[in-house]
Amino acid sequence: MNTQTTLACRVSRQELWKTIQWLTEETPYRLAGSHCQEKAAQYIAQRMEQYGLEVANESFFAYNSEPICSNLEIISPISEKLDSLPCAHIRATPPEGLELELVYVGSGSYEAYKDLNVSNKMVLTEVSYAPPVPEKARIAAEMGAAGMICMNWGNDEEVICHRGLKGVWGNPTEETFPKIPDIIGVGVTRGAGLKLKTLCQSGQRVTVKVTAVANRKWSRLLQPLGILRGNGHRDEFLLVCSHLDAWQPGVTCNATGNATTLEVCRILAENREKLDRDVYFVFWNGHEIAEAAGSTWFVDNHWDQLNKRCVGYMHIDSTGVRDTQLFEIKASEELLGFAADNAQRMLPGRELRTMSLKKIGDQSFMGIGIPSITQRMSFTREYMEHAHGATLGWWNHTKEDGLDKCDQDILELDTQATLQVLYDLATIEILPYDFTEKLAELRRKAGELGERFGAHMDFSDLLTNLDETAQGVMSVQSMKDRCRGKWADVYNEYVKGVSRCITNVTLTYADKYAQDSYGYGKLSCPIPLLADLERLDELDPDSLAYGLIQTQLVRNKNRINDALYQISALTRLTKLVLVK
Protein backbone atom coordinates (compact mmCIF):
# COMPACT_ATOMS: atom_id res chain seq x y z
CA MET A 1 0.00 0.00 0.00
CA ASN A 2 1.56 3.36 -1.05
CA THR A 3 1.80 6.41 1.18
CA GLN A 4 -1.10 8.13 -0.58
CA THR A 5 -3.46 5.21 0.07
CA THR A 6 -2.19 4.74 3.62
CA LEU A 7 -2.76 8.39 4.55
CA ALA A 8 -6.22 8.49 3.01
CA CYS A 9 -7.24 5.41 4.97
CA ARG A 10 -6.20 7.05 8.22
CA VAL A 11 -8.82 9.81 7.93
CA SER A 12 -11.53 9.04 10.48
CA ARG A 13 -15.10 10.22 10.02
CA GLN A 14 -15.65 9.58 13.71
CA GLU A 15 -12.84 11.97 14.66
CA LEU A 16 -14.06 14.60 12.20
CA TRP A 17 -17.63 14.43 13.45
CA LYS A 18 -16.52 14.46 17.08
CA THR A 19 -14.86 17.84 16.56
CA ILE A 20 -17.82 19.33 14.69
CA GLN A 21 -20.36 18.20 17.28
CA TRP A 22 -18.30 19.40 20.24
CA LEU A 23 -17.73 22.86 18.76
CA THR A 24 -21.33 23.43 17.73
CA GLU A 25 -22.92 21.91 20.84
CA GLU A 26 -20.50 23.02 23.57
CA THR A 27 -19.48 26.36 22.05
CA PRO A 28 -22.25 27.41 19.64
CA TYR A 29 -21.48 31.17 19.66
CA ARG A 30 -17.77 31.31 18.93
CA LEU A 31 -17.51 34.97 18.05
CA ALA A 32 -14.14 36.51 18.89
CA GLY A 33 -14.02 37.74 22.49
CA SER A 34 -16.90 35.53 23.68
CA HIS A 35 -16.76 32.95 26.46
CA CYS A 36 -17.57 30.23 23.92
CA GLN A 37 -14.66 31.22 21.73
CA GLU A 38 -12.23 31.09 24.66
CA LYS A 39 -13.59 27.67 25.66
CA ALA A 40 -13.18 26.46 22.06
CA ALA A 41 -9.57 27.69 21.99
CA GLN A 42 -8.80 25.72 25.14
CA TYR A 43 -10.41 22.61 23.65
CA ILE A 44 -8.37 22.86 20.46
CA ALA A 45 -5.16 23.32 22.47
CA GLN A 46 -5.94 20.22 24.55
CA ARG A 47 -6.53 18.17 21.41
CA MET A 48 -3.18 19.21 19.94
CA GLU A 49 -1.46 18.40 23.23
CA GLN A 50 -2.94 14.90 23.01
CA TYR A 51 -1.25 14.52 19.62
CA GLY A 52 2.12 15.44 21.12
CA LEU A 53 2.54 18.95 19.71
CA GLU A 54 4.22 21.88 21.44
CA VAL A 55 1.16 23.96 22.28
CA ALA A 56 0.50 27.54 23.33
CA ASN A 57 -2.68 29.58 23.49
CA GLU A 58 -1.24 32.88 22.38
CA SER A 59 -2.98 35.91 23.87
CA PHE A 60 -3.33 39.17 21.98
CA PHE A 61 -5.57 42.22 21.75
CA ALA A 62 -7.75 42.83 18.71
CA TYR A 63 -9.88 45.80 17.77
CA ASN A 64 -13.17 43.98 17.95
CA SER A 65 -16.91 44.63 17.77
CA GLU A 66 -20.10 43.11 19.11
CA PRO A 67 -23.34 43.63 17.16
CA ILE A 68 -26.16 44.28 19.62
CA CYS A 69 -29.52 45.20 18.05
CA SER A 70 -31.24 46.84 15.11
CA ASN A 71 -34.64 47.91 13.80
CA LEU A 72 -35.55 48.84 10.25
CA GLU A 73 -38.77 50.38 8.96
CA ILE A 74 -39.87 51.73 5.59
CA ILE A 75 -41.37 55.18 6.17
CA SER A 76 -42.27 56.10 2.58
CA PRO A 77 -43.67 55.55 0.02
CA ILE A 78 -45.15 52.66 2.06
CA SER A 79 -45.03 51.83 5.75
CA GLU A 80 -43.62 48.45 6.73
CA LYS A 81 -41.31 47.00 9.37
CA LEU A 82 -38.52 44.70 8.17
CA ASP A 83 -36.49 42.12 10.05
CA SER A 84 -32.83 43.08 10.30
CA LEU A 85 -29.52 42.32 12.01
CA PRO A 86 -26.92 44.94 12.98
CA CYS A 87 -23.56 44.72 11.25
CA ALA A 88 -20.39 44.73 13.33
CA HIS A 89 -17.95 47.68 13.47
CA ILE A 90 -20.60 50.30 12.71
CA ARG A 91 -21.38 53.76 13.98
CA ALA A 92 -24.38 53.36 16.27
CA THR A 93 -27.47 55.42 15.66
CA PRO A 94 -29.14 57.51 18.38
CA PRO A 95 -31.59 55.42 20.47
CA GLU A 96 -34.54 56.96 18.62
CA GLY A 97 -33.03 55.98 15.26
CA LEU A 98 -32.51 57.98 12.08
CA GLU A 99 -34.70 58.63 9.07
CA LEU A 100 -32.67 58.51 5.85
CA GLU A 101 -33.32 58.48 2.14
CA LEU A 102 -32.44 55.10 0.56
CA VAL A 103 -30.53 54.70 -2.73
CA TYR A 104 -29.93 51.36 -4.49
CA VAL A 105 -26.26 50.85 -5.48
CA GLY A 106 -26.27 47.28 -6.77
CA SER A 107 -22.91 45.58 -6.18
CA GLY A 108 -21.58 48.55 -4.22
CA SER A 109 -18.54 48.97 -6.47
CA TYR A 110 -17.27 52.37 -7.60
CA GLU A 111 -19.03 51.95 -10.96
CA ALA A 112 -22.38 51.53 -9.18
CA TYR A 113 -22.18 55.09 -7.80
CA LYS A 114 -21.80 56.77 -11.17
CA ASP A 115 -24.15 59.74 -11.41
CA LEU A 116 -25.57 59.06 -7.93
CA ASN A 117 -25.57 61.41 -4.96
CA VAL A 118 -25.57 59.36 -1.76
CA SER A 119 -24.30 62.02 0.63
CA ASN A 120 -25.86 61.49 4.06
CA LYS A 121 -28.15 58.80 2.62
CA MET A 122 -28.58 55.08 3.23
CA VAL A 123 -27.43 52.82 0.39
CA LEU A 124 -28.84 49.39 -0.44
CA THR A 125 -26.30 46.88 -1.77
CA GLU A 126 -26.44 43.24 -2.75
CA VAL A 127 -24.17 40.98 -0.73
CA SER A 128 -21.48 39.32 -2.83
CA TYR A 129 -17.72 38.98 -3.03
CA ALA A 130 -17.52 41.40 -5.97
CA PRO A 131 -16.47 43.44 -4.09
CA PRO A 132 -16.53 41.91 -0.60
CA VAL A 133 -18.77 43.59 1.98
CA PRO A 134 -15.97 45.46 3.85
CA GLU A 135 -14.90 47.01 0.54
CA LYS A 136 -18.51 47.94 -0.22
CA ALA A 137 -18.57 49.70 3.16
CA ARG A 138 -15.27 51.49 2.49
CA ILE A 139 -16.54 52.76 -0.85
CA ALA A 140 -19.91 53.79 0.63
CA ALA A 141 -18.14 55.81 3.33
CA GLU A 142 -15.85 57.41 0.75
CA MET A 143 -18.92 58.41 -1.25
CA GLY A 144 -20.38 60.14 1.79
CA ALA A 145 -23.12 57.63 2.61
CA ALA A 146 -24.48 57.64 6.15
CA GLY A 147 -25.16 53.93 6.19
CA MET A 148 -25.59 50.68 4.28
CA ILE A 149 -28.27 47.99 4.07
CA CYS A 150 -26.93 44.58 2.99
CA MET A 151 -29.41 42.50 1.00
CA ASN A 152 -28.68 38.80 1.48
CA TRP A 153 -27.72 36.43 -1.34
CA GLY A 154 -29.61 33.21 -2.05
CA ASN A 155 -33.22 33.25 -3.22
CA ASP A 156 -36.37 32.98 -1.14
CA GLU A 157 -34.71 31.75 2.07
CA GLU A 158 -35.86 33.96 4.94
CA VAL A 159 -32.43 34.36 6.52
CA ILE A 160 -30.14 37.29 7.24
CA CYS A 161 -26.37 37.14 6.96
CA HIS A 162 -24.18 38.42 9.78
CA ARG A 163 -21.73 40.99 8.46
CA GLY A 164 -18.80 43.13 9.57
CA LEU A 165 -17.97 46.48 7.96
CA LYS A 166 -14.53 47.16 9.41
CA GLY A 167 -12.61 47.29 6.15
CA VAL A 168 -9.16 47.73 7.73
CA TRP A 169 -7.27 44.41 7.61
CA GLY A 170 -6.18 43.32 11.09
CA ASN A 171 -5.56 45.72 13.93
CA PRO A 172 -5.61 49.40 12.95
CA THR A 173 -2.70 51.79 13.39
CA GLU A 174 -2.72 55.57 13.77
CA GLU A 175 -2.59 55.75 9.97
CA THR A 176 -5.31 53.19 9.22
CA PHE A 177 -7.77 53.79 12.08
CA PRO A 178 -9.45 56.75 10.31
CA LYS A 179 -10.02 54.45 7.32
CA ILE A 180 -12.48 52.23 9.22
CA PRO A 181 -15.87 53.08 7.61
CA ASP A 182 -17.78 55.20 10.11
CA ILE A 183 -21.23 54.31 8.86
CA ILE A 184 -24.44 52.65 10.04
CA GLY A 185 -25.02 49.11 8.80
CA VAL A 186 -27.73 46.44 8.90
CA GLY A 187 -28.48 43.24 7.04
CA VAL A 188 -31.86 42.11 5.68
CA THR A 189 -33.23 39.01 3.94
CA ARG A 190 -33.08 38.82 0.17
CA GLY A 191 -36.85 39.14 -0.01
CA ALA A 192 -36.82 42.35 2.02
CA GLY A 193 -33.92 43.64 -0.05
CA LEU A 194 -35.72 42.99 -3.32
CA LYS A 195 -38.77 44.88 -1.98
CA LEU A 196 -36.52 47.85 -1.13
CA LYS A 197 -34.79 47.61 -4.50
CA THR A 198 -38.13 47.70 -6.34
CA LEU A 199 -39.17 50.79 -4.40
CA CYS A 200 -35.86 52.52 -5.13
CA GLN A 201 -36.20 51.79 -8.85
CA SER A 202 -39.80 53.00 -8.98
CA GLY A 203 -38.75 56.64 -9.22
CA GLN A 204 -40.27 57.50 -5.87
CA ARG A 205 -38.31 58.84 -2.92
CA VAL A 206 -37.73 56.01 -0.47
CA THR A 207 -37.18 56.79 3.21
CA VAL A 208 -36.28 54.32 5.90
CA LYS A 209 -35.93 54.61 9.65
CA VAL A 210 -33.01 52.65 11.03
CA THR A 211 -31.76 51.92 14.53
CA ALA A 212 -28.53 49.96 14.80
CA VAL A 213 -26.21 49.40 17.75
CA ALA A 214 -22.84 47.68 17.90
CA ASN A 215 -19.85 48.43 20.10
CA ARG A 216 -16.22 48.79 19.04
CA LYS A 217 -13.53 47.92 21.55
CA TRP A 218 -10.23 46.18 22.20
CA SER A 219 -10.71 42.53 23.21
CA ARG A 220 -8.22 40.01 24.57
CA LEU A 221 -8.33 36.93 22.37
CA LEU A 222 -6.79 33.46 22.60
CA GLN A 223 -5.31 31.82 19.52
CA PRO A 224 -4.20 28.16 19.70
CA LEU A 225 -0.78 27.38 18.21
CA GLY A 226 0.56 23.85 17.93
CA ILE A 227 4.04 23.06 16.59
CA LEU A 228 4.59 19.60 15.14
CA ARG A 229 8.30 18.87 15.02
CA GLY A 230 9.38 16.70 12.11
CA ASN A 231 12.59 14.71 11.80
CA GLY A 232 14.79 17.81 11.78
CA HIS A 233 16.23 17.32 8.30
CA ARG A 234 15.26 20.81 7.18
CA ASP A 235 15.06 24.05 9.12
CA GLU A 236 11.76 24.99 7.46
CA PHE A 237 8.06 24.76 8.31
CA LEU A 238 4.59 24.79 6.82
CA LEU A 239 1.84 26.97 8.26
CA VAL A 240 -1.55 25.22 8.39
CA CYS A 241 -4.52 27.18 9.71
CA SER A 242 -8.28 27.54 9.96
CA HIS A 243 -10.34 30.24 11.64
CA LEU A 244 -11.90 29.22 14.95
CA ASP A 245 -14.22 32.17 15.55
CA ALA A 246 -17.66 31.73 14.01
CA TRP A 247 -21.24 32.95 13.98
CA GLN A 248 -23.71 30.63 15.70
CA PRO A 249 -23.88 27.73 14.91
CA GLY A 250 -21.08 27.95 12.32
CA VAL A 251 -20.93 24.35 11.15
CA THR A 252 -19.55 24.85 7.63
CA CYS A 253 -17.99 28.16 8.62
CA ASN A 254 -15.94 26.89 10.19
CA ALA A 255 -16.34 23.84 12.46
CA THR A 256 -15.79 21.59 9.44
CA GLY A 257 -12.55 23.41 8.60
CA ASN A 258 -11.41 23.09 12.22
CA ALA A 259 -12.23 19.37 12.10
CA THR A 260 -10.21 18.91 8.91
CA THR A 261 -7.27 20.80 10.42
CA LEU A 262 -7.28 18.73 13.63
CA GLU A 263 -7.54 15.47 11.69
CA VAL A 264 -4.62 16.46 9.47
CA CYS A 265 -2.74 17.37 12.66
CA ARG A 266 -3.48 13.96 14.23
CA ILE A 267 -2.36 11.93 11.23
CA LEU A 268 0.77 13.97 10.48
CA ALA A 269 1.73 13.67 14.15
CA GLU A 270 1.57 9.89 13.78
CA ASN A 271 4.00 10.20 10.85
CA ARG A 272 6.30 12.87 12.27
CA GLU A 273 9.45 10.84 11.68
CA LYS A 274 8.78 11.08 7.93
CA LEU A 275 8.32 14.86 7.92
CA ASP A 276 11.43 16.73 6.81
CA ARG A 277 9.76 20.02 7.68
CA ASP A 278 7.96 21.12 10.83
CA VAL A 279 4.28 22.00 10.66
CA TYR A 280 2.75 24.91 12.58
CA PHE A 281 -1.00 24.64 13.22
CA VAL A 282 -2.81 27.86 14.15
CA PHE A 283 -6.54 28.38 14.69
CA TRP A 284 -7.15 32.02 13.79
CA ASN A 285 -9.21 34.28 16.02
CA GLY A 286 -10.77 37.56 14.89
CA HIS A 287 -11.44 36.33 11.37
CA GLU A 288 -15.12 37.22 11.06
CA ILE A 289 -15.43 40.67 12.65
CA ALA A 290 -11.91 41.95 13.22
CA GLU A 291 -11.04 41.14 9.58
CA ALA A 292 -8.09 38.76 9.84
CA ALA A 293 -6.90 40.14 13.18
CA GLY A 294 -5.40 36.84 14.33
CA SER A 295 -3.42 36.06 11.19
CA THR A 296 -2.24 39.68 10.95
CA TRP A 297 -1.14 39.65 14.58
CA PHE A 298 0.68 36.38 13.92
CA VAL A 299 2.60 37.73 10.94
CA ASP A 300 3.45 40.93 12.82
CA ASN A 301 4.71 39.07 15.89
CA HIS A 302 6.37 36.07 14.19
CA TRP A 303 7.72 38.00 11.23
CA ASP A 304 11.34 36.93 11.47
CA GLN A 305 10.79 33.18 11.65
CA LEU A 306 8.06 33.32 8.98
CA ASN A 307 10.32 35.26 6.65
CA LYS A 308 13.30 32.95 7.17
CA ARG A 309 11.70 29.52 7.54
CA CYS A 310 8.09 29.31 6.30
CA VAL A 311 7.81 27.69 2.87
CA GLY A 312 4.03 27.35 2.47
CA TYR A 313 0.70 28.39 3.96
CA MET A 314 -2.66 26.64 3.80
CA HIS A 315 -5.90 28.16 5.07
CA ILE A 316 -8.60 25.52 5.61
CA ASP A 317 -12.12 26.92 5.49
CA SER A 318 -15.58 25.50 4.85
CA THR A 319 -14.72 21.91 4.01
CA GLY A 320 -17.43 19.26 3.71
CA VAL A 321 -20.15 21.58 2.38
CA ARG A 322 -23.19 19.73 1.07
CA ASP A 323 -24.22 19.94 -2.61
CA THR A 324 -20.69 20.79 -3.75
CA GLN A 325 -19.66 18.93 -6.90
CA LEU A 326 -16.20 19.94 -8.10
CA PHE A 327 -12.82 20.38 -6.43
CA GLU A 328 -11.61 23.98 -6.38
CA ILE A 329 -8.00 24.99 -5.87
CA LYS A 330 -6.91 28.57 -5.32
CA ALA A 331 -3.15 28.84 -4.98
CA SER A 332 -0.18 31.08 -5.52
CA GLU A 333 0.74 30.65 -9.17
CA GLU A 334 4.07 29.03 -8.32
CA LEU A 335 2.23 26.24 -6.44
CA LEU A 336 -0.87 25.93 -8.61
CA GLY A 337 0.49 23.19 -10.88
CA PHE A 338 1.77 21.17 -7.93
CA ALA A 339 -1.57 21.43 -6.13
CA ALA A 340 -3.52 20.48 -9.25
CA ASP A 341 -1.34 17.42 -9.91
CA ASN A 342 -1.81 16.35 -6.30
CA ALA A 343 -5.59 16.70 -6.52
CA GLN A 344 -5.77 14.75 -9.78
CA ARG A 345 -3.95 11.84 -8.15
CA MET A 346 -6.18 11.95 -5.08
CA LEU A 347 -9.45 12.56 -6.96
CA PRO A 348 -9.24 10.76 -10.30
CA GLY A 349 -12.09 11.69 -12.59
CA ARG A 350 -13.20 14.59 -10.41
CA GLU A 351 -13.67 17.93 -12.16
CA LEU A 352 -11.11 20.50 -11.01
CA ARG A 353 -11.40 24.29 -10.99
CA THR A 354 -8.05 26.01 -10.52
CA MET A 355 -7.30 29.70 -10.22
CA SER A 356 -4.65 32.08 -8.99
CA LEU A 357 -5.16 33.02 -5.35
CA LYS A 358 -5.99 36.63 -4.51
CA LYS A 359 -5.57 38.44 -1.21
CA ILE A 360 -8.65 37.72 0.88
CA GLY A 361 -9.74 35.44 3.74
CA ASP A 362 -6.73 35.48 6.12
CA GLN A 363 -4.18 35.57 3.29
CA SER A 364 -2.11 37.85 5.50
CA PHE A 365 1.27 36.53 4.34
CA MET A 366 1.49 37.93 0.82
CA GLY A 367 3.53 40.87 2.05
CA ILE A 368 6.27 38.47 3.11
CA GLY A 369 5.77 36.41 -0.04
CA ILE A 370 4.86 33.00 1.40
CA PRO A 371 3.20 30.81 -1.26
CA SER A 372 -0.25 29.61 -0.35
CA ILE A 373 -2.83 26.95 -1.19
CA THR A 374 -6.49 26.82 -0.26
CA GLN A 375 -8.70 24.05 -1.62
CA ARG A 376 -12.03 22.32 -1.04
CA MET A 377 -15.04 20.89 -2.80
CA SER A 378 -17.03 23.76 -4.28
CA PHE A 379 -20.29 24.61 -6.01
CA THR A 380 -20.63 24.81 -9.77
CA ARG A 381 -20.74 28.24 -11.42
CA GLU A 382 -24.41 27.67 -12.24
CA TYR A 383 -25.25 26.93 -8.60
CA MET A 384 -23.49 30.06 -7.37
CA GLU A 385 -25.12 32.24 -10.03
CA HIS A 386 -28.53 30.86 -9.09
CA ALA A 387 -27.77 31.71 -5.46
CA HIS A 388 -26.75 35.26 -6.46
CA GLY A 389 -23.10 34.93 -5.44
CA ALA A 390 -23.41 32.65 -2.40
CA THR A 391 -20.11 30.85 -2.95
CA LEU A 392 -20.36 29.01 0.39
CA GLY A 393 -24.09 28.31 0.39
CA TRP A 394 -27.05 30.60 1.06
CA TRP A 395 -26.80 29.65 4.74
CA ASN A 396 -23.26 30.97 5.19
CA HIS A 397 -23.00 33.29 8.24
CA THR A 398 -26.64 32.65 9.15
CA LYS A 399 -28.47 30.74 11.89
CA GLU A 400 -29.17 28.00 9.32
CA ASP A 401 -25.53 26.88 9.08
CA GLY A 402 -26.31 23.72 11.04
CA LEU A 403 -25.18 20.10 11.02
CA ASP A 404 -27.41 19.32 8.04
CA LYS A 405 -25.23 21.58 5.85
CA CYS A 406 -22.26 19.22 6.21
CA ASP A 407 -21.89 16.20 3.92
CA GLN A 408 -19.67 13.64 5.64
CA ASP A 409 -18.62 12.01 2.35
CA ILE A 410 -17.44 15.36 1.03
CA LEU A 411 -15.79 16.22 4.36
CA GLU A 412 -13.80 12.99 4.26
CA LEU A 413 -12.75 13.66 0.66
CA ASP A 414 -11.72 17.25 1.44
CA THR A 415 -9.69 16.08 4.42
CA GLN A 416 -7.94 13.33 2.48
CA ALA A 417 -6.92 15.70 -0.33
CA THR A 418 -5.73 18.34 2.15
CA LEU A 419 -3.75 15.79 4.14
CA GLN A 420 -1.97 14.50 1.06
CA VAL A 421 -0.88 17.85 -0.34
CA LEU A 422 0.45 18.90 3.07
CA TYR A 423 2.28 15.62 3.57
CA ASP A 424 3.91 16.01 0.17
CA LEU A 425 5.00 19.57 0.95
CA ALA A 426 6.41 18.44 4.29
CA THR A 427 8.44 15.59 2.78
CA ILE A 428 9.46 16.70 -0.71
CA GLU A 429 13.16 17.45 -1.11
CA ILE A 430 12.92 20.17 -3.76
CA LEU A 431 10.31 22.85 -3.14
CA PRO A 432 7.81 22.57 -6.03
CA TYR A 433 7.62 26.27 -6.84
CA ASP A 434 7.44 26.96 -10.56
CA PHE A 435 7.50 30.60 -11.67
CA THR A 436 7.21 29.94 -15.41
CA GLU A 437 3.54 30.86 -15.78
CA LYS A 438 3.65 33.60 -13.16
CA LEU A 439 6.45 35.50 -14.90
CA ALA A 440 5.00 34.92 -18.37
CA GLU A 441 1.61 36.22 -17.24
CA LEU A 442 3.20 39.24 -15.56
CA ARG A 443 5.10 40.00 -18.78
CA ARG A 444 1.90 39.70 -20.81
CA LYS A 445 0.00 42.03 -18.47
CA ALA A 446 2.81 44.59 -18.44
CA GLY A 447 3.02 44.46 -22.23
CA GLU A 448 -0.70 45.12 -22.58
CA LEU A 449 -0.53 48.01 -20.13
CA GLY A 450 2.45 49.43 -22.01
CA GLU A 451 0.57 49.36 -25.31
CA ARG A 452 -2.51 50.96 -23.78
CA PHE A 453 -0.94 53.51 -21.46
CA GLY A 454 2.51 54.09 -22.92
CA ALA A 455 1.69 57.74 -23.47
CA HIS A 456 1.44 58.22 -19.71
CA MET A 457 4.53 56.31 -18.56
CA ASP A 458 7.64 54.68 -20.02
CA PHE A 459 7.36 50.89 -19.76
CA SER A 460 10.62 50.01 -21.53
CA ASP A 461 12.64 49.49 -18.35
CA LEU A 462 9.95 47.31 -16.77
CA LEU A 463 9.58 45.14 -19.87
CA THR A 464 13.35 44.72 -20.23
CA ASN A 465 13.71 43.77 -16.58
CA LEU A 466 10.84 41.28 -16.84
CA ASP A 467 12.47 39.58 -19.81
CA GLU A 468 15.86 39.36 -18.09
CA THR A 469 14.35 38.16 -14.82
CA ALA A 470 12.28 35.45 -16.49
CA GLN A 471 15.25 34.20 -18.49
CA GLY A 472 17.36 33.97 -15.35
CA VAL A 473 14.72 32.24 -13.24
CA MET A 474 14.05 29.69 -16.00
CA SER A 475 17.76 28.93 -16.23
CA VAL A 476 17.94 28.12 -12.51
CA GLN A 477 14.70 26.14 -12.58
CA SER A 478 16.21 24.00 -15.37
CA MET A 479 18.84 22.83 -12.86
CA LYS A 480 16.27 21.54 -10.38
CA ASP A 481 16.52 17.84 -11.25
CA ARG A 482 20.24 17.68 -10.50
CA CYS A 483 19.98 19.46 -7.15
CA ARG A 484 20.25 16.97 -4.32
CA GLY A 485 21.57 17.15 -0.76
CA LYS A 486 23.19 20.50 -0.01
CA TRP A 487 22.43 21.66 -3.55
CA ALA A 488 18.76 21.12 -2.83
CA ASP A 489 19.13 23.51 0.08
CA VAL A 490 20.67 26.11 -2.23
CA TYR A 491 17.89 25.67 -4.79
CA ASN A 492 15.18 25.90 -2.14
CA GLU A 493 16.62 29.10 -0.73
CA TYR A 494 16.66 30.51 -4.23
CA VAL A 495 13.00 29.83 -5.08
CA LYS A 496 11.99 30.99 -1.64
CA GLY A 497 13.85 34.24 -2.28
CA VAL A 498 12.14 34.69 -5.65
CA SER A 499 8.74 34.24 -4.01
CA ARG A 500 9.62 36.74 -1.28
CA CYS A 501 10.41 39.35 -3.93
CA ILE A 502 7.73 38.82 -6.57
CA THR A 503 4.59 38.23 -4.48
CA ASN A 504 4.53 41.59 -2.74
CA VAL A 505 4.66 43.59 -5.97
CA THR A 506 2.10 41.50 -7.86
CA LEU A 507 -0.57 40.58 -5.30
CA THR A 508 -0.57 43.49 -2.83
CA TYR A 509 -0.67 47.26 -2.96
CA ALA A 510 0.56 47.89 0.58
CA ASP A 511 4.24 47.48 1.36
CA LYS A 512 5.50 44.15 2.68
CA TYR A 513 5.08 45.11 6.36
CA ALA A 514 1.49 46.38 6.10
CA GLN A 515 -1.87 45.07 4.89
CA ASP A 516 -4.28 46.26 2.23
CA SER A 517 -7.84 47.04 3.28
CA TYR A 518 -10.05 43.97 3.11
CA GLY A 519 -11.14 43.23 -0.48
CA TYR A 520 -9.35 46.35 -1.76
CA GLY A 521 -10.51 47.07 -5.30
CA LYS A 522 -7.06 47.69 -6.79
CA LEU A 523 -6.07 44.10 -6.01
CA SER A 524 -8.43 42.88 -8.74
CA CYS A 525 -6.51 44.84 -11.40
CA PRO A 526 -3.96 43.04 -13.65
CA ILE A 527 -1.03 44.64 -11.79
CA PRO A 528 -2.38 46.26 -8.59
CA LEU A 529 0.47 48.75 -8.26
CA LEU A 530 -0.38 50.11 -11.71
CA ALA A 531 -4.16 50.13 -11.22
CA ASP A 532 -4.43 53.93 -11.41
CA LEU A 533 -3.23 54.09 -15.00
CA GLU A 534 -6.83 54.05 -16.19
CA ARG A 535 -7.55 57.22 -14.24
CA LEU A 536 -4.97 59.14 -16.28
CA ASP A 537 -6.96 58.65 -19.49
CA GLU A 538 -9.76 60.79 -18.01
CA LEU A 539 -7.52 63.67 -16.87
CA ASP A 540 -5.84 66.68 -18.44
CA PRO A 541 -2.07 65.97 -18.47
CA ASP A 542 -1.51 69.53 -17.21
CA SER A 543 -3.85 69.11 -14.23
CA LEU A 544 -2.79 68.75 -10.61
CA ALA A 545 -4.59 65.42 -10.26
CA TYR A 546 -2.76 63.99 -13.28
CA GLY A 547 0.63 64.96 -11.89
CA LEU A 548 -0.08 63.51 -8.47
CA ILE A 549 -1.28 60.17 -9.82
CA GLN A 550 1.43 59.86 -12.45
CA THR A 551 4.15 60.53 -9.89
CA GLN A 552 2.85 57.76 -7.66
CA LEU A 553 2.60 55.36 -10.59
CA VAL A 554 6.23 55.93 -11.53
CA ARG A 555 7.26 55.18 -7.95
CA ASN A 556 5.13 52.04 -7.97
CA LYS A 557 6.79 50.92 -11.18
CA ASN A 558 10.17 51.50 -9.52
CA ARG A 559 9.05 49.21 -6.69
CA ILE A 560 8.37 46.43 -9.22
CA ASN A 561 11.68 47.07 -10.97
CA ASP A 562 13.51 46.86 -7.66
CA ALA A 563 11.94 43.48 -6.90
CA LEU A 564 13.00 42.23 -10.34
CA TYR A 565 16.54 43.52 -9.74
CA GLN A 566 16.71 41.66 -6.42
CA ILE A 567 15.60 38.46 -8.16
CA SER A 568 18.15 38.89 -10.93
CA ALA A 569 20.96 39.51 -8.41
CA LEU A 570 19.93 36.41 -6.46
CA THR A 571 19.82 34.46 -9.74
CA ARG A 572 23.39 35.38 -10.63
CA LEU A 573 24.71 34.37 -7.22
CA THR A 574 22.76 31.10 -7.21
CA LYS A 575 24.04 30.12 -10.65
CA LEU A 576 27.62 30.73 -9.51
CA VAL A 577 27.05 28.16 -6.77
CA LEU A 578 25.04 25.57 -8.69
CA VAL A 579 27.22 25.42 -11.81
CA LYS A 580 30.21 24.26 -9.76
**Segment 384-415, tens digit of pLDDT:** 999 888 899 999 999 999 999 999 999 999 99
Q: Give the residue-averaged pLDDT of 494-516.
A: 96
What's the pLDDT score for residue 6? 81
In terms of C-beta distances under 8 Å and separation of at least 24 residues, what long-range contacts does 170-176 make, across chains too? 170/290, 170/291, 170/292, 170/293, 170/295, 170/296, 170/297, 170/300, 170/364, 170/515, 171/61, 171/62, 171/63, 171/290, 171/293, 171/296, 171/297, 172/63, 176/517
What's the pLDDT score for residue 498? 98
Please give the share of the chain, as a percent, with pLDDT higher than 90: 94
CA distance 450 to 444: 10
What confidence tens digit (pLDDT) does each residue in 366-389 have?
Answer: 999 999 999 999 999 999 999 888
What's the pLDDT score for residue 580? 66
Whether residue 579 is predicted with pLDDT greater than 90 in this model: the reply is no
Give the DSSP per-residue string, 553-574: HHHHHHHHHHHHHHHHHHHHHH
What confidence tens digit (pLDDT) does each residue in 313-322 have?
Answer: 999 999 999 9
What's the pLDDT score for residue 1? 47
What's the pLDDT score for residue 3? 67
Whether residue 39 is predicted with pLDDT greater than 80 in this model: the reply is yes
Can you tell me whether residue 341 is helix, strand or coil?
helix
Domain boundaries, the chain: 3-63+219-427, 65-215, 436-578
Whether residue 495 is predicted with pLDDT greater than 70 in this model: the reply is yes
Q: How confident is the model at residue 278 (pLDDT cuts 50, 70, 90)?
A: very high
What's the pLDDT score for residue 5? 67
Q: What architecture is domain 65-215? A: 3-Layer(bba) Sandwich (3.50)
Q: Give the residue-averaged pLDDT of 441-453.
A: 97
Count of helices and strands (H, E) across the chain: 16, 14
Please give the share of the chain, as a percent, with pLDDT higher than 70: 99
Q: How confident is the model at residue 4 (pLDDT cuts 50, 70, 90)?
A: low
Q: Is the peptide bond before 132 cis (omega within 30 degrees of 0)?
A: no
Q: How many CA atoms lie within 13 A of 536 on its CB side?
A: 22
- 3-63+219-427 and 436-578 in the same fold: no
**Candidate from 1-15, 193-207, 251-265, 441-455 with smallest mean pLDDT:** 1-15
What confidence tens digit (pLDDT) does each residue in 101-145 have?
Answer: 999 999 999 999 999 999 999 999 998 878 999 999 999 999 999
Spell out the CATH class of 3-63+219-427: alpha beta
Can you tell me whether residue 470 is helix, strand or coil?
helix
Q: Give the residue-averaged pLDDT of 195-207.
A: 96
Q: Give the residue-averaged pLDDT of 159-168.
A: 94
Q: What's the one-letter identity of residue 6?
A: T
Q: Give the residue-averaged pLDDT of 473-483.
A: 95
Q: Structure pTM?
A: 0.96
**Mean of pLDDT over the chain:** 96
Q: Give the residue-averaged pLDDT of 454-469.
A: 97
Spell out the CATH class of 436-578: mainly alpha
